[in-house]
Amino acid sequence: MSYIIVHIYDPKDIETMDVLPDEKGESIQIFDNKIEAIQFLNQIGRPSNETESSWVDSDVHVVRLQ
């Protein structure tokens, strides 16, 4: 499975969603698992922990690609 990180500005409007780019800003940052994505957020200073519930009140979400 692959995961991406998205920032949702307005939860009622899907078009206000941005996907986190890679380090060069050239493509989408893709992670092999959810933990890897959360660790990346921690590295860039975004507070989180490794539980699903930590994202409930946040505008940043780790999303699994299907």
**0.85 cut: is pTM over it?**
no
Enumerate residues 6+ apart whose C-beta is below 8 A from 29.
4, 5, 19, 20, 21, 22, 23, 40
Cα–Cα dist 65/63, whole Å: 6
Which of the two residues, 34 and 15, has the higher pLDDT score? 34
Question: pLDDT class for 18, splitting at 50, 70, 90?
Answer: confident
Q: Which of 4-8, 16-20, 28-32, 47-51 has the highest mean pLDDT?
A: 28-32
Token pair for residue 57?
A: 């009140």
